[in-house]
Structure 1
């Protein structure tokens, strides 16, 4: 395993300090190394999106992926009208897989709300959905708030009772085959997603994956806990999670394992496309694919700008 800034390598003093809160920094992905440890997915989109996931070579040449002002830029094609191979975008996956840990992403900008767009920051394991999926940031079309979701095989039901007030439980059955929705909560903080997120300068999403549950916090820029910025995160200081998935109805050690980190931006497909007709976007085009094909300028702000992703275990 590649380890970046491992406390073990820095001596026993830092190891003891890191272990005081139960977590040791294992990997840092940022503008010094991100593309060395994330690979570019180039297969057909599993969610049937109107998207052409391009290779690293093409992405770098066309400016869809790059280091920019000490940040990681992941974008989409916003200039080509009616592209021959659907709209170009990138999907990147970490080389290293993880089982449990604390995952902290400092993000300056995420794709803004736009008809047809479907951005996500998530994790998933092999033989999907047997090893689970954790969707930390996700939404479609003109959504103004984040949806946080788990997907599993049959047999995992969770409680969201300890989630932040204003968070709404959509489903508690995480079984992917139960209407295909997984167990999902929707949030009410517009600063945590899309245009609102970017307006406040972004922020930090932290996901704790443990034997007793999966927990997600959001901290907007200017309100990030000092223990995160200092590199010694202590979840006990953070208050109620934005989303809390726990309870005796799911064995988290069984349903979640060996997951890789993913950032992507797709279009239409099995979510944004399926709900197109029921959204205000339908007034712009009869189908999601038609709109995305013929309105490239709508996606100029459909990009990720990542300061860092840090993994603690």
Structure 2
């Protein structure tokens, strides 16, 4: 892992004050993948996907890293009964608190059948919690950000530019769809999928402190100077796209030891459940039929990462920890993105 430090910069963010130094720079060479494990078990979300190991992914051209990190899916073959080949990677290091900054040139969203996500989750779901930073399905036009936690965590409806969908982070909360968690939807199409890609991507910055979790998005041409200079100061960034501040929630008891995950799955509990209600229904009778038989539709279903960096409060810059890969592999099928029912209130 490429690790370097910068002089701390004082920043008063929406969720508290922190002087940040760079803890982890994941780089953009092949060593990027040395810092992640490749998940190869059955998809916990019920997706029509075959997650492959690193060697298989390399040989199939699904991953590469040379100045930017590419993670795609099979877009040349009719899929087998086990699903379309894809990758799902999880950082071997976990974090409690921090400022995660992703410079993303391209994402897989905006395509019928896809369900991509950039998220964080712990080894014991839901006890460690889950932070969904980028997530969407099919031709969804805007990003959706969500927290999943054990009972007793709700968020307030203020301090952000997005639209509150649900306020209780507990997946089985009364009055909310099962597995909804507490969700906030972006209002700009630049945050996700086709419009995001056409604009050259952008920056997602996620600040996580004891006081809450905030997510900012910056279109590329509006990237803050302090981020470009490696001295991020959330005080300069204005109102976040999403702010998960407690209505009633002790964040430290609900979120800890989270690992970074990238994945692209297909269909599953969410994308399949809304297939008939959107424009994708005209493409095929079912999500699985479309994904299996239209490989060329997924040429653009890839992540292209310019950089991934994690900053920490100068007073706690060593909170990250390494988990054994075999322990991670055993736990991941129990993670948060299980089979989800239809989500209500989506703006797509």
Match of 1:110 among 91, 107, 116: 107
Shift of 1:286: 1.9
SS in 2 for 1:30: coil
Shift of 1:160: 3.3
1:285 has 2:280 as partner: no
**Could you tell me which residue of structure 2 aligns to residue 169 of structure 1?**
164
Deviations 1:10-51 (A, max 9, x none): xxxx4xx32544111000012133111011110100000000
Name segments (4+ residues, structure 1) moved above 4 Å. Answer: none
- Would the aligned equivalents of 1:94 and 1:261 in 2 still touch at CA under 8 Å? yes
1:307 has 2:306 as partner: yes
Question: d(CA) in 2 for partners of 1:271 and 1:30?
Answer: 32
- Would the aligned equivalents of 1:106 and 1:307 in 2 still touch at CA under 8 Å? yes
- Would the aligned equivalents of 1:160 and 1:243 in 2 still touch at CA under 8 Å? no
**Could you tell me which residue of structure 1 aligns to residue 22 of structure 2?**
25
Shift of 1:84: 4.0
Match of 1:128 among 87, 103, 125: 125
Question: d(CA) in 2 for partners of 1:112 and 1:45?
Answer: 18
Shift of 1:182: 0.6
Q: TM-score, normalised by structure 1?
A: 0.93
Is there any run of 5+ residues in structure 1 with no aligned partner, and where?
8-13
Deviations 1:164-214 (A, max 9, x none): 1xx211100000223111111111111111111111111100000011110
1:74 has 2:71 as partner: yes
Note the aligned Cα RMSD (angstroms). 1.2
- Would the aligned equivalents of 1:30 and 1:306 in 2 still touch at CA under 8 Å? no
Shift of 1:5: 3.1
**Could you tell me which residue of structure 1 aligns to residue 51 of structure 2?**
53
Question: d(CA) in 2 for partners of 1:137 and 1:20?
Answer: 27
1:93 has 2:90 as partner: yes
- Would the aligned equivalents of 2:212 and 2:243 in 1 still touch at CA under 8 Å? yes
Equivalent residues in 2 for 1:1-313, closer than 5 Å: 4-7=2-5, 14=6, 17-21=7-11, 22-32=19-29, 33-68=31-66, 70-164=67-161, 167-178=162-173, 179-313=178-312
**Could you tell me which residue of structure 1 aligns to residue 316 of structure 2?**
none
SS in 1 for 2:152: coil
Shift of 1:130: 1.1
Query: How many residues of Structure 1 are paired with residues of Structure 2 in the alignment?
Result: 300
- Would the aligned equivalents of 1:276 and 1:282 in 2 still touch at CA under 8 Å? yes
- Would the aligned equivalents of 1:163 and 1:240 in 2 still touch at CA under 8 Å? yes
- Would the aligned equivalents of 1:23 and 1:233 in 2 still touch at CA under 8 Å? yes
**Could you tell me which residue of structure 2 aligns to residue 10 of structure 1?**
none
Shift of 1:248: 4.2
Question: d(CA) in 1 for partners of 2:79 and 2:220?
Answer: 37
SS in 1 for 2:160: coil
